[in-house]
Structures are given as structure tokens and as C-alpha cells.
Homo-oligomer: A and B are copies of this chain.
Amino acid sequence: MKFGLFGSAQAKRGGPDVDSGQGFKDYVDYNIEAEALGYAATFVVEHHFTGFGQVSASMNLLGWVAAKTSTIRVGTAVMVLPWHNPVLLAEQAATLDLLSGGRLEFGVGKGYRNNEFESFCIDPAEAEERFEESLALIMKAFTSNERFSHNGKYWKFKDIIVEPPPFQKPHPRMWMAAGSPKSIAQVAERGFNLMLDQFASTEVTLERFNLFKSEVEKRGRRFDPMSVGVCRAFYVARNVQEKEQAVENRLQATLRMADLAKSGRDNKSSMMTFAETKEASEESALYGSPDEIAAKVDRLRKAGVELILLNGPGGSREHLRRFGRDVMPAFAGLPPVLQAAQ
């Protein structure tokens, strides 16, 4: 089994006394230590105009992490294609992939926060179409050794060859998040890797995991368990009170995030269909003593899950260490390792 991380970093805005870069530097240090502790990958979000300093230029931050580390894989979770010129995005991704020696895990998505669509002045109704056009163009940009033109609905390019080529051939490992049966089947159809969200219950998560496996096999391909990353929040608590408080905090944070995504829009993302109760929040999270957490991880492992992507409390190095030292060793060393295209 392998454990990776997913999360964000925060650059606070403020007066002359505030070092806005501190949150980014902490994030880099967090990942340097994660590599040393044996975490195999780190995924970062992309968000814009939040007002609280979430990561926006995700691949620039990931580049810094990659430059300061040597083995940990760096991933986007996810780059929101409707915001980007697909060719410039492919250039950025390939540059990061080259410089890191093929350590890029390239997650892509359609966007789900209504206020981001509004701020970019992009109609959410176009998200699907924009995503498909951009993705097809990005894959061609990664793989074409010949010049080509693109005359799409949203983008036009003439006689281009996109440079540099990525390190991983034919392209960086691609990821998408999905939850509904239709979306999961589409990820299998594309031949991409699948991220399963941190909110769904263990039971629902395993149903989705098995559905993806069967969708892959249905297409005549061998299923690689490392092609599914199960996202889970974690909190290694020292006592029951600490755990209870953490569960409550998580529920509140989740409700706030759900509000942000839903505001003003009928958001149909499967990620937003989790039960908003304390019990559901606790069930889906790896919160508790090392033994409690290990029991939950073991249930996932026995069902075939081999890659768990963890989100820790507020970038706490202490929790990173607790999980790395008190939980991870019991599951390490089981084959296969995270497949790197190195």
C-alpha cells in the first residue's frame, strides 16, 4: 500500500508585518518531510479569488516542491481546464514533468465552484464542453510530434507543435475525480486514473472502486489498483476528547465548503452528495487512535485499495509524523508500489 497527500496552502494577505509567503514555505517543508516519512505523492488544489489565499498557480507551487524533493510525486487535484488556455497549460505541465524527471500526476477537472465561474465570466453550462475541447487538445499537445492546427468552439491554434514534450511517455499520468456511475465509466473509458472523494462513506467508496475496476476490465485492460486514489481526511488523536473535537471541526468545515460550491447554483457534483451529519463525517474520515485508523485502512486494503490520499489537519507536521510513524508502517511494503513512469 502507498499513502499520498492532498491539500492546499495558504498565502495570507496583509500589512508589512505579514510574510505572505510563509504559508507556501510551510507547505513546501511539509512535503519535504512527507517524502522523508515515506509518503509517495502530494496533490494540490487549484482555486481562484477565494479571499483567503488558496493556491492558484498550482504547478508553480508544485514545481518548488519538486525542486526541493527527489522522489515524491507531485499532482494537481485538479487543474480546472475551463480556466486555462489548454496549450499554455500543456506547456506548464510538460515543463514540470521534465524538470521533475517524470514526477507529475496531472489531475484535471471541470470546476464546481459557482463563484469561480462567475468571476471568470464563464457560463457553468459551458464547463463540460470546454473541458472536453481542452482535454483533447492537451492530449494532442502532449503526444504530437508533428505540427497540427485546432479549430474548436473555444480555442483556435494554427500550425503548432507544443514544446517541451513531457518526460513521461506518451504523457503524464492523468487523473480525474468522479463519483457517479456514468462519470466513473468515463474515466475508465479515457484510460485515466481515478480519484475518489474524501466525503463518501467507506461502503459507497468501495462500490465506486469496484465499479471502476469492472469498467476497466470490461474494456479488456488489466486493472491496476494504483490507478485509484481514495481520498480520506485523517487525524491521529491522542484521546477521545481530541477526536470528538476534530470530528466536529471537520463537519463544520465541510458544511462551509459545501456552501461555497453550491451558492447560487444547482450543483450536481457527486462530491457534494455526502450526508451532512456528524456520524457520516466521522465514518468517512480516518479520525481516532492509530489502532482505530489502522482498522479503517485495513478494511480498505482488504477490499483491494492500495493508494490512499490523505488530507491532514491544517498542514500539521505533527499529524503527518504521527500517521507516518504510527499507522503507515503496518501497511507499507505491500506490492505493487505506486507505478512511476521513471
Q: Which of A118-126, A189-197, A248-256, A267-275 contacts B (4 or more CB under 8 A)?
A: A118-126
**Contacting A163 at CB < 8 Å: which of B53, B83, B92?**
B53
Could you say which residues of chain B place their CB within 8 Å of the CB of A85?
A: 83-85
Which of A49, A92, A99, A115 has the largest number of chain B CB atoms within 10 A?
A99
Q: Are B164 and A95 in contact (CB under 8 A)?
A: no
Q: A54-B163, A164-B24 are in contact. Are A156 and B121 (CB under 8 A)?
A: yes
Could you say which residues of chain B place their CB within 8 Å of the CB of A167?
A: 20-21
Interface size on A, residues (CB 8 A): 56
List the interface of chain A (C-beta within 8 A of B).
11, 13, 16, 20-21, 24-25, 28, 48-51, 53-54, 56-57, 59-61, 63-64, 66-68, 83-85, 87-88, 91-92, 94-96, 98-99, 101, 115, 118-121, 145, 147, 156-165, 167, 169
8 sample A-B contacts, Cβ–Cβ < 8 Å, listed by A number: A49-B147, A49-B163, A56-B162, A57-B95, A60-B99, A63-B67, A64-B99, A120-B157
9 further interface pairs, Cβ-Cβ under 8 Å (given A51-B161, A60-B63): A11-B98, A20-B98, A21-B164, A24-B95, A24-B164, A48-B87, A49-B159, A56-B88, A56-B163
